[in-house]
Structure 1
Amino acid sequence: MHDQGGTREQRIRVLVSGRVQGVFYRATCEREARAAGVSGWVRNCPDGRVEAVFEGDPDAVERMAAWVRRGPRKARVDDVELYDEPVQGLRDFVVRD
């Protein structure tokens, strides 16, 4: 956790395996992240996984960590790898190619 001007912040990186490409995973993740108030990004990996970074209030980051385990309705999540990382001060959430 990191103290960003008096507010606690946390950053995690996740790698999600399963049927997670071609099921609106990135678009839904972006919507959920913006609703949770977290910054970061999400992208498809060449190996078929989805990678995402979530940064912000620890409760909001934990909400996203729980969401990636479910994903959107048509997804099937088989495995989630989660890594704590140093906060980088991101201020937006984007879908990367």
Structure 2
Amino acid sequence: MVLFRRSLGDILRSRRTDLGLTLREVSGAARVSLGYISEIERGQKEASSELLASLCDALEMPLSDVLREVADAVALEEAAALVAAAPTPITPRRAGEVVASAA
């Protein structure tokens, strides 16, 4: 199952590390507790829309970009899950058809 909060956390953490920011720096800028941001980044907590907007401001990233990246990540995971779950097609043999042996 694809978890939105896990993909969101991955994207927020990636942006923070790309900017070279610590959790403490983002916490101060967003006015959100360091521990809560850590739990969001690890996909353990859901972020409200207000909190997510504060984090996006602190990370200098538009909310629409974050949501677009999350949607793309979720779509890729869903596609991979569909491919993995797809049954292998079995082609029926016709009467009298000979199958070559590897031996």
Task: Tell me the TM-score normalised to structure 1 length.
Answer: 0.34
Larger radius of gyration, structure 1 or 2? 2
Please state which structure has a larger fraction of its residues in helix.
Answer: 2
User: TM-score, normalising length from structure 2?
Assistant: 0.32
